[in-house]
Amino acid sequence: MQISGSMGPTLIGKQIVLGVTGSIAAYKAVALLRTLLREGAIVHVVMTQSATKFVTPLTFEVLSGHPVSTDLFEAHQEMKHLSLPEQADAIVIVPATANCLARAALGLGDDLLSTMLLTAQCPLIVAPAMDGGMWTHPSVTEHVSALRARGTIVVNPEEGPLASGRIGQGRLAEEGTILEAIQTALAPRRDWQGHRILVSAGPTQEPIDPVRFISNRSSGKMGYAIAEAAQARGAQVVLVTGPTALPAPRGVEVVSVATAEDMTKALSVRLAWSTTVIMAAAVADFRPKYPAPQKIKKQERTDQTLDLERTTDILASLSAQRTTQLMVGFAAETSDLIAHAKDKLTAKGLDLIVANDVTTEGAGFGSDQNAATLIDRQGAMTELPLMPKRALADAILNRAHELLRTRQSNQTPKPVAGGR
C-alpha cells in the first residue's frame, strides 16, 4: 500500500468527514481513519445506524478525537448536517452500501449522513462495498452513473473473495487506492499554470441617453466562475466585465467596461498577451445609433422610435486577429441549440463553443447553475448536466486544456473566421 512516502503528510489541516455505512467492510474504515490522521487530516466520523452494528462509535471516537455523529435528531447533534459539511474539505464515504448510493443519487435525506450530502459543496468521494451481484444490479449501476455525472468520485470496488464466500466485484477498494483518490481530490490542480486567460463576462449597456440604456439579463456569474476557476488552477487571468453585482474574484485582474465598444477595446489590446480567450459576456448586438447627449424628454410625444445599429462582433474580430490563442465562445440559444451553436463555432472561427439553452429550468441567466453542451471544431460533443456554474467552469477548462494539449502535439493551423 502506497502512503505518502518521502513526501511527508499530504493532507495537513484538511477537514474530512468520514461517513461509514452498514457493510461488513466498516472495520476497514478504522484503518483508513488512522491513515488519514497520519496524513495530517482532521477527521469527523459520521455513522449510519446500521454501521454501528458492525463497529462501535466509540472506536472511531477514541481514534479521531472527536465525537461521532450518528443521529440527525440527537440533542447534541444540532445542525450537524449543516455545520460539518460547511467546514469540510471533502466528504469520504467508506464503505458505501448500495442503499447509501441510492439515497445519495436520489437526494433522500432521512438520516444525518444523507442529509449532509444535500447541503455539502465540497468534493464527495465514495468507496462502495457490497456483494458482486448487487454491484452489477442495474439500479446500482444507474445510481453510480448519476453520482459520477454530478462530479462524485466513485472508487470502484475490486474483484476478489466476498464476505458471502463468493468471488466477484464488490470488495472495498484497497486503502491505498482510496487514499490516492482523496489526495487527488484535495490537491490543488495547477494545470493552467503558465497560461494567460482573457475572460469576458456580464452584459453590456448601450446608452440611449445619459440616464437610459439597452442591456440584457446576464448576471456575469458564468464568466466570473470561469475566471475564478482558471486562477485557482494556476492561470494568470484578466476579466473584462460589463456591469454586474459580483465581487472581483481573488487574484484576478478586473477591467470594468460598460458598452460593447469599451469591451471590444479592452479585449483587443490584451489579445496579444493572452494564450486563451473565453468569451462568456452577453454583448449587445445592437446599440442606439444616435445616443442623445441630454435626457430625452417626453414633451408632447405619444411614441418614440429608436434607431439601432450593429455593434462589433467582438469574438469574430478577436478570432480574425489571433495568432495562437485558443478561442472559446458561448452560444445562448432558445431553440435549435446544437445547430445554432455549430454555426457560431464556424462563423466566429472558434476552437470550442459552450452551447446553453437559456430556457432550461434552473439554468441560464441569474441562476447559480447551468447545463451545457461543449462542441469542438471536429464536432465532438460533451454533454454536461445541470451543475453549479463553478463546476461547469472547471469542466469547460478541462476540455479547453485537452484541446491545447492536442494542438501542441499536432500543431494544427488556426481556423479562419467565416469557416473558409
Catalytic residues: 216
**Short-list 349, 327, 361, CA closest to 418:** 349
Binding status of residue 240 toward ligand CTP by CB under 6 A:
no
Nearer to ligand CTP, 41 or 331 (CB): 331
Sign of the torsion angle spanned by Cα atoms 210, 212, 215, 221: positive
Of the candidate residues 17, 98, 181, 314, the single one contacting ligand CTP (CB under 6 A): 314
Burial environment of residue 152 by CB neighbours within 10 A (0 to 12, 13 to 18, 19 or more): buried
Nearer to ligand CTP, 43 or 201 (CB): 201
Question: Residue 117, SS3?
Answer: helix
**CB of residue 5 vs ligand CTP: minimum separation in angstroms?**
46
Binding status of residue 315 toward ligand CTP by CB under 6 A:
yes
Binding status of residue 329 toward ligand CTP by CB under 6 A:
yes
How far is Cα 14 from Cα 40, in angstroms, rounded to an integer?
7
Binding status of residue 224 toward ligand CTP by CB under 6 A:
no
- For residue 286, list its beta bridge partners: 310
Of the candidate residues 105, 283, 396, 404, the single one contacting ligand CTP (CB under 6 A): 283
Nearer to ligand CTP, 344 or 390 (CB): 344
Of the candidate residues 131, 175, 228, 313, the single one contacting ligand CTP (CB under 6 A): 313
Binding status of residue 279 toward ligand CTP by CB under 6 A:
yes
Are β-strands 124-128 and 153-154 bridged in parallel, bridged antiparallel, or unpaired? parallel
Nearer to ligand CTP, 22 or 329 (CB): 329
Binding status of residue 197 toward ligand CTP by CB under 6 A:
no
Of the candidate residues 28, 287, 344, 401, the single one contacting ligand CTP (CB under 6 A): 344
Binding status of residue 351 toward ligand CTP by CB under 6 A:
no
3-state helix, strand, coil in the chain (%, to 5): 35, 25, 40
- Kind plus residue range of the DSSP H or E element containing 353: strand 352-357
Binding status of residue 342 toward ligand CTP by CB under 6 A:
no
**CB of residue 308 vs ligand CTP: minimum separation in angstroms?**
13
Binding status of residue 47 toward ligand CTP by CB under 6 A:
no
How far is Cα 41 from Cα 219, in angstroms, rounded to an integer?
38
> Applying CB under 6 A, which part among 33-41, 58-66, 275-283, 376-384 lies near ligand CTP?
275-283
- Kind plus residue range of the DSSP H or E element containing 329: strand 326-333
Binding status of residue 281 toward ligand CTP by CB under 6 A:
yes
Are β-strands 352-357 and 369-376 bridged in parallel, bridged antiparallel, or unpaired? antiparallel
Nearer to ligand CTP, 220 or 329 (CB): 329
Nearer to ligand CTP, 183 or 312 (CB): 312
Ordered alpha helix ranges (H), 56-174? 57-64, 80-87, 98-106, 112-119, 132-135, 138-149
> Applying CB under 6 A, which part among 187-195, 241-249, 291-299, 328-336 lies near ligand CTP?
328-336
Binding status of residue 332 toward ligand CTP by CB under 6 A:
yes
Nearer to ligand CTP, 60 or 330 (CB): 330
Ordered alpha helix ranges (H), 163-302? 175-186, 221-232, 260-271
How far is Cα 49 from Cα 55, in angstroms, rounded to an integer?
10
Contacts of 301 (CB under 8 A, 6+ apart): none
Interface residues with ligand CTP (CB under 6 A)?
Answer: 260, 279, 281, 283, 285, 311, 313-315, 329-332, 344
